[in-house]
Structure 1
Amino acid sequence: MGSVHPYTTAGGKKLYRIHYRRPDHRQTSERGFKTKRDAELRLAEVEISKARGEYVDPSTAIITVGTLGAQWLDQRRGVLKPSSFRPLESAWRKHVEPKWGGRRIGSIRHSEVQAWISGLEGGSTTVRRAHGVLAGILDGAVHDRRLSRNVAREVDLPAKNHDARRHYLTHAQVQTLADHARHPTLILFLAYTGLRWGEATALRVRHVDMLRRRVSVQENAVLVSSYVHVGTPKTHRSRSVPFPEFLAAPLAKLAEGKAREQLLFGDGEEHVKLPASRNGWFTAAVRDAQAVDEHFPRVTPHDLRHTAASLAVQAGAHVKAVQRMLGHASAAMTLDVYADLFDDDLDAVATALDQAKRSSSVVTVLSRARDRVS
């Protein structure tokens, strides 16, 4: 067991220190306790943690968030795609490092983290991402036995924004947009297959099976800092997606004169980049479509993926088919993301149950009538 001893500071203040042996049997001490009871409680905590094999040496907690943050980012860089890593690096540079970079990890308090979260400016995604970076760094410190617990966990975070309105185009609106776009076949393809922009623009001629009317999604081209990074699809899994028969001829025309390894869309060599949101060709096409249709919504390229889900559901596609088409990890995810598209299914269930009950009642009445006759 350890021991508690009083001492007097240079300013004449009475404090307490504790002495104990670490699991490696080396003698150590901690000081600065204001009361004897505080010192005794800390000593008891140390002894319990030693008995449980959970002891953390306080001297390992003097390392700064800045030092561990740089290591954590290097680790993330090695396992994340560039498009996923960049937001983390940005959150670290803009929000986490300026506030916490110079702090020793052992000096951070839960209340400080909560105050920081509450004071961060930006939407819920920005705040949650910044918190995730700090919490991830401290998680690593806990796993490395530098901290006994992560004070950045169990804080109150802003609710996720589920109110962002999705726009679903009709068949006619999709055609109107394609008629005014620089890449009309690409517009139609996105709206009727649900591929992400990077998945569609990464398709090569060899990925298209004209006989089965299928495309094999094996690559993803993502624009990060004006540079196109090509990797695996978002889920790291390839998938086969069907396309409607009316797209067969336009796709075949795009593939004419190209080698199997060349890109289907564009000139075959360079990926078609995501157009600028303010003055790109897609935005221009939307403005032109709005000029002829006053009800045409202000859509983004990603809304074509939502449109594909909507058109598939309207056509009677099962949720599992929609899941496979979109490349979601599970049908539950598809239902969660597009719950509004399946509202009519609830009405259909109620109608079906009503009809079944009425049919059952008729059978019961006829059966009773038959019994009375007998």
Structure 2
Amino acid sequence: MGSITAYDSAAGKRYRVRYRKPDHSQTDKRGFRTKREAELFLASVELKKATGEYIDPAAARETVGKLGTAWLASRSHLKPSSNYVYESAWRLHVKPKWGGLRVGTIRHSDVQSWVSELSSGGATGKPKSATIVRRCHDILAGILDTAVRDHLIPSNPARGVKLPRKLGREHVYLSHQKVAALIKASGDHAPEVATLAYTGLRWGELSALRVRDRDRARHRLNVVENAVYVNGRIVVGSPKTHERRSVPYPQFLDAALDEACADKNPDELIFDDGRGGYQRTPTMTVNSWWDRALADADLSPMTIHDLRHTAASLAISAGANVKAVQRMLGHASAAMTLDTYSDLFDDDLDAVATQLDHAADPSVGKMWATGDARAKKKAH
């Protein structure tokens, strides 16, 4: 146990509590007006030490900047593209605001004000998107979560703040006829467009495909790599979910794929940049071949990723079940597929009632028909 001693101060008699921290080093806290206050404080310290909830007051002096650097380094398991957006948000928005502050001084209301300022634009007048605001909050909250686990602060003041609602962009679904028009307008890039529209591959997955990844006999494309443009360079790694997968493609794509694979060895890229290297995403440049193809096909502006949504739509309309679509797209779960494309399954809701109507025993309907007849007879 610690000890309590009285001492004289300019303001009168005060009490000092001296105790040992869990690491056995000695410290004290002074300024208690009554001995009772000092006793209650000492009792709370001993209880927290016994339950493992003790927070060293000195620990709360760690700055967000120091902890943030370590937190970012601990996220090396993320893919380079994800790491880049988090590092960028930290450098531009989180560190300038919180980097020099001690974690023990941050209040919940401070975090809420910051989130609101980012959303509205504050003094800059340039509001940030809900995606950026939520990402910035994730970084700060993640750093403070670590501080809580390391017993630097008792609770996380960033948790429980109100965040802007992230509104998903409406999906674009092209019909077979519109896909055909777009393929025709894409010229030399027609094979890429056709493959994206009928397999649901991400652009990075398509651009990383090698000749050896195509199984012509089974009409499958084996997705084993992903080539993503990150901060001025192409970074090649595993697919987005870190899971390899086998994606089916319709037989009519054989001719386009045969042409793309012609005279190439197994290690070469199927869809290269003309010099054997990886292609950059066409939507990264103004007036790209993609923009011109959309205009020539008389289609509204859309991203090349929208062809992934089109592939999902065409597969579902062809009768594919949600599990098959999940595996084709490489989603982590069927629930994710349903959440993403719930609008494509609306017709299934109508079909439920129709199928139940056909499957039910005819006598079920007759019971109510009989009831109606009795009610009418009673009314007369």
Does the C-alpha gap of structure 1 residues 320 and 34 become closer, same or farther in structure 2, counting only changes over 3 Å?
farther
Does the C-alpha gap of structure 1 residues 125 and 362 become closer, same or farther in structure 2, counting only changes over 3 Å?
closer
Which residue of 156, 169, 176 maps to 1:171? Answer: 176
State the match for 1:272 in structure 2.
Answer: 279
- The 1-side partners of 2:344 and 2:352 are apart by 15
> Unaligned 5+ residue runs, structure 1?
291-295, 366-374
State the match for 1:131 in structure 2.
Answer: 137
State the match for 2:53 in structure 1.
Answer: 54
Structure 1 position 19, deviation (Å): 3.0
Q: Are the counterparts in 2 of residues 4 and 17 from structure 1 also a CA contact under 8 Å?
A: yes
- Map Cα deviations across residues 144-167 of structure 1 (whole Å, 9 max, x no partner): 2222222212222222223x1110
Which residue of 342, 346, 369 maps to 2:345? Answer: 342
Structure 1 position 114, deviation (Å): 1.6
Q: Give, as a single letter, the amino acid of the residue that structure 2 aligns with 1:272.
A: Q
Q: Is 1:303 aligned to 2:309, yes or no?
A: no
Structure 1 position 23, deviation (Å): 2.1
What SS is found at the alignment partner of 1:282?
Answer: helix
- Map Cα deviations across residues 105-150 of structure 1 (whole Å, 9 max, x no partner): 1111122112211211312111110011111111222222222222
> Unaligned 5+ residue runs, structure 2?
120-127, 369-380
Which residue of 264, 276, 283 maps to 2:291? Answer: 283
Q: Are the counterparts in 2 of residues 4 and 40 from structure 1 also a CA contact under 8 Å?
A: no
What SS is found at the alignment partner of 2:58?
Answer: helix
Q: Are the counterparts in 2 of residues 167 and 297 from structure 1 also a CA contact under 8 Å?
A: no
Q: Give, as a single letter, the amino acid of the residue that structure 2 aligns with 1:167.
A: V
Structure 1 position 364, deviation (Å): 8.9
Q: Is 1:215 aligned to 2:212, yes or no?
A: no
Structure 1 position 203, deviation (Å): 0.3
Structure 1 position 43, deviation (Å): 4.1
What SS is found at the alignment partner of 2:27?
Answer: strand
- The 1-side partners of 2:248 and 2:44 are apart by 62
Does the C-alpha gap of structure 1 residues 25 and 341 become closer, same or farther in structure 2, counting only changes over 3 Å?
same
Structure 1 position 270, deviation (Å): 0.6
State the match for 1:71 in structure 2.
Answer: 70
Please tell me the root mean square deviation across aligned C-alpha atoms, in Å.
2.5
Q: TM-score, normalised by structure 1?
A: 0.88
State the match for 1:114 in structure 2.
Answer: 112
Q: Give, as a single letter, the amino acid of the residue that structure 1 aligns with 2:286.
A: R
State the match for 1:93 in structure 2.
Answer: 91
State the match for 1:146 in structure 2.
Answer: 152
- The 2-side partners of 1:262 and 1:225 are apart by 25
Q: Give, as a single letter, the amino acid of the residue that structure 1 aligns with 2:321.
A: H
- The 2-side partners of 1:115 and 1:92 are apart by 18
- The 1-side partners of 2:13 and 2:192 are apart by 76
Q: Are the counterparts in 1 of residues 6 and 13 from structure 2 also a CA contact under 8 Å?
A: no
State the match for 1:246 in structure 2.
Answer: 252
Alignment coverage as a number of residue pairs? 356
Does the C-alpha gap of structure 1 residues 176 and 160 become closer, same or farther in structure 2, counting only changes over 3 Å?
same
Deviates more, 1:64-73 or 1:45-54: 45-54
State the match for 2:325 in structure 1.
Answer: 322
What SS is found at the alignment partner of 1:229?
Answer: strand
Q: Are the counterparts in 2 of residues 277 and 283 from structure 1 also a CA contact under 8 Å?
A: no
Deviates more, 1:12-21 or 1:86-95: 12-21
- The 2-side partners of 1:146 and 1:332 are apart by 38
Structure 1 position 90, deviation (Å): 1.0
- The 1-side partners of 2:316 and 2:14 are apart by 71
Q: TM-score, normalised by structure 2?
A: 0.86
Does the C-alpha gap of structure 1 residues 352 and 107 become closer, same or farther in structure 2, counting only changes over 3 Å?
same
Q: Are the counterparts in 1 of residues 134 and 163 from structure 2 also a CA contact under 8 Å?
A: yes
Q: Is 1:332 aligned to 2:335, yes or no?
A: yes
Q: Are the counterparts in 2 of residues 82 and 229 from structure 1 also a CA contact under 8 Å?
A: yes
